Structures are given as structure tokens and as C-alpha cells.
Chain A
Amino acid sequence: MTLLELKNIWKTYTLGSAQVHALRGVSLSVNKGEFLAIQGPSGSGKSTMMSLIGCLDLPTKGTILLNDIDIASMPESQLAQIRGKKIGFVFQKFNLITTLSAVENIALPMIFQRISHNEQLKRTIALLHQVGLGDRIHHKPTELSGGQQQRVAIARALATNPDIILADEPTGNLDSTTGRQIIELLVTLHNNSSKTIILVTHDDELAHYAQRIVYLLDGKIHKEWRRR
């Protein structure tokens, strides 16, 4: 069953008089429960594509269907709702709120969804255990290692039980062992909860944890293959 469909997506940035075509007619369809990796050289448009799928930005041209709803021209208020309910982000730089503790960071998306405090607490504790951080709940991000911060970020991405996890180079700031552990955590998640996961990575080895790999080049899908 198709969860996400990109139809001839263009994204053009205008910098002064110069135009940068970050994406040039990308079409892609992702099934529910699929684990997809996106690869490609720097500047090929991977992050751009992720931010369009994640409703952080709108394409210059084209259609993006999420659950058969076109999100390519939605107003910001509805995009915020989709981001909050259906999408979980994991960033290369962890992007935790530094003034909040681990639990508070994980609870934040639930606050924006008006989820009750009891429910927030229950889910937060469960998520912390799920990512293997049961003993670090009141630590601030600065008091956690990179790997631990990324685990908190993953727990936060799962907080509102979204359909898709978007992870843009989640291992980019981690050493290879920690990076592998993080990817294995995502794989476990995928196996246990059948979440759709889209992973951007430069690392061929890590990309092979995915079921399908899409290779971008100059804002186009250059090639695409399935793991056997």
C-alpha cells in the first residue's frame, strides 16, 4: 500500500539573481512499512527532498501525496498538524532543546498535540526504555553523549506515534560503532512497529540495512535498487 508518493517534484532556490535547482523532477513512491535509504553525493538534493517529505518546505512544482492527500500546497497550519502527527524527525545534529531535560524533550511533541500529562509521562518513560536510556531521564542534552542524545531524539520522533520516521544522516556526528548502534535501533523499530523509515546516509554499509536504496545525483533519481 502506497503511503507516500512524489510526482515530478522540483525545488528551485533563488539566491539573488542565481537559481539553484536542488531537485529536478523527482518521482518516487514509498510503501507503508518500507525502510528506504537515500544516498548521493553532497549537494545532490537529499536534505531538500527530506524537508519536502517532512512538510518543512513546499516544492516549487509537483505533487506530494501523503495518505493520498496532496501536501504540496497546504497552508502552514495544516502542515504543522501533519508534522506533529504523522512525521518524526531525526537530525544529524540531534537538535534537542538544550534548556530541557531528556524527558521534557520527548514530551514536547505531545504538548503540541495536547496529549494529557498522564499519557505524556507514560509514553515518555516507555520510549526512554525502548531506546535504552531508562536511567538518563532528567539529564540535559549537554550532559549526554552524542549517541545518547540521538537516542533521545529518536524517542522524541516516536512520541506522537507517527507513520514515517525521517532520519537525515543520523550517524553523521557519531563514530562508526555508535552510528551502527543507532541504525540498529532504527532497524529494530522498523521490525517491531512496522514504521516507514526514510534514512539519508553517506555510508554504503549502513545503507544496506534498508530494503531499498535510492541514489540521487544532481537533483534527480539516478538509480534505485532493492536489497536481496
Chain B
Amino acid sequence: MSEMDSKFAELHQIIEAHKDWPGALMPVLQAAQEIFGCVSEDVQKVIAEGLGVTLSEVYGVATFYAQFSLQPKGEYVISVCLGTACYVKGSQAVLDKLSEVLDTPVGSTTPDGKFTLQATRCLGACGLAPVMTINGDVYGRLTPDQVPAIIEKYRTPA
């Protein structure tokens, strides 16, 4: 079975398990986002069929929530906190610097598919503000001049 096939098999299992739940669409979409890294049209179709709802309903929900992305994300997802505590302590400058170093606008993925740069709201680590995460690793008390070295670490894998 190819990797894609096994992912779809997993999705079918999730759909089966949630089918009779009230309000199953959200948990199923969340699982799909987790499995595929995004909810593409193919995935939406499978979900619509499996849960017996229209594709437009699935699309409507998938586009409403920020957590679901229709396109795949980069290998490393960089999330800079623009929550109030971080903003007040200068996280915008960190975000600007990242955008400059990666040469990509906020909310986009680099052409080589390596980095996705995005802004998020409070990560709950306000004590370390300004904060960013790269695939879940937390970097705190950031200043813009630390950015190039951090990115370099991910560009050249050890």
C-alpha cells in the first residue's frame, strides 16, 4: 500500500469511528488535518461522502477555521506569537526579521517547501515573551538579531 493509500485508509477508519457522533465533522476534519497536514479537496470529498454531508458544507467549515489549511505546509512551520504580551514586547520585529531572512511574506511557504511562516496568538508562554515555535520547539525571549542563527540551524540539518 502506498503512503497515500494508507493515509486514506486511516481517514476511513476515523470516519467510521465518528460517524454516529453528534457534530462529527469537526473532529473528523481535525484528524484529517493531522494525518495529511492539510485538508485538500480530495480529502474533503472523502469526508463528505463518509459522513453523508454535502461537499459545500465540508468546504464551508474547513475554510471557516484557521486551523485547517487547504494547501500543505512546509517541512518546518514557524509560528511567531502575536498575542498581546508578545506584541508589547516586540514580537512584530521578530516576525519582520523572519520574513526578511526567509524572503517570504507572513502566511506563506518558501518555494522549496522548507519553511512556512505564520503568526499565531498567545501560545501560553507569555512569561517567555516574545515567543515563537518551530514545529513545536519553543524559542523564548527573542530578539530580531537571534533570527538568522536559528534559521540557519534548520537550513543545514546536523
Are A and B bound to each other? no
List B residues at the A interface (Cβ < 8 Å): none
